[in-house]
Structure 1
């Protein structure tokens, strides 16, 4: 299974420079929230990995290897976590070098959102017709980036009691709760995706 994650990294090694330059572009612009930049960096590689695997011949090859379908899906979900960690580290270095302020909160928010988005995207990528999952991911990301901040702001202004409750929570409890919720959603998505992939015919 670790070899499958390694394979994903090797396949994309020529594109890594392009990914880094894209993140660097947003860092140098200085107009975007640090959490948005971390989120963008976190989901690029996992989404691109799925784009490679959309080809029927790729899945036929994967299924001819000595790995079960459960292990193939496990490599996708574990690989996504590995890539999120590496992307967050690389982005942190870039932001530090170019004196762009960020906080642990930015990283926590972006990582949680990345896991949430991937929890929705990974099972959908095995349902949607091959070739359409990447445009779906791009459009969904742009839509969410455009509508989520205003919605959160609106709800924060209207639901003041909920906002006050969350703000008054100890930081440790808040992050622990968010982490447990993220793990639950990600684990559920993992299980659903495994069931979908087991039944898929190539």
Structure 2
């Protein structure tokens, strides 16, 4: 498996358009999450899961790209010849392609296999917790967003808007991710990671001289 993993990393490094949130380190973290989840869930095909993990962001479009909801389907299409060169069978390739297609939040495709459910959860886990905090502000920098609204940091008197303020993305999407997890293990890890983000929000509130609303706790 390590030789196959190295070959997949090499293939994706030659193709992947990277950003601070979607690079080889992201793929390695998602694979680590997959391994953690797979220990406790229905036995997946690990070759399929490995291939899908390292090729799931082969086509990566910016969050503000109008075609972003198509990225996972484009990635699945481009993954097929790579998997073929690495001697995946037709059935393994089809299974990996489905996992790639359904991993994306914006695609809205329901994962129908163990591998697809695990990959979706593993990828979403990388958006929360300590790494999720870092990714939020890295992406905000790339999109030239303000970190938070200085007049109302926690949106107590205004609608949430994560197209203007990075911190708003947490209640808009990230705090909701535990409820979207398809595996029990994924849900358990997600709850712990969101709790870590809420603790960060408490510290942030102190440092900027305000109180954290109960809705953020």
TM-score by length of structure 1 reads 0.31
Structure with higher RCO (Cα < 8 A, 6+ apart): 1
TM-score by length of structure 2 reads 0.29
Quick check: which one's helix share is greater? 1
